[in-house]
């Protein structure tokens, strides 16, 4: 079974899980990929800072992984 992304995961850990998620994050408005905050900020925290719905972003990332692993 493929790994699932959760809102409490640290952005750096999400990227380590699958670097192909970087363009998904960028296209969603998360331009903090290289930011030092990405090393300690959860997906939910970063989404809120960027004005993005964390539930929607979590779903987009998981949909991408599901499609990739199908």
Task: Indicate the pTM of the whole model.
Answer: 0.89
Instruction: Give the pLDDT confidence of 25-70 residue by residue, as tens digits.
Output: 999 988 777 778 778 899 999 999 889 999 999 999 999 999 998 8
In whole angstroms, how far apart are CA 69 and each of 30, 32, 41, 53? 23, 26, 26, 25
- For the four alpha carbons of 69, 1, 7 and 43, in that order, the dihedral sign comes to negative
pLDDT at 1 exceeding the cut of 60: no
Terminal Cα-to-Cα distance of the chain (whole angstroms): 11
């Amino acid at each position: 079974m493929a790994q699932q992304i959760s809102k409490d995961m640290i952005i750096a850990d999400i990227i380590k899980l699958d670097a192909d998620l970087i363009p998904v994050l960028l296209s969603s408005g998360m331009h903090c990929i290289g930011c030092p905050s990405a090393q300690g900020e959860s997906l939910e925290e970063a989404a809120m800072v960027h004005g993005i719905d964390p539930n929607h972003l979590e779903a987009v990332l998981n949909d991408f992984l599901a499609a990739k692993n199908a």
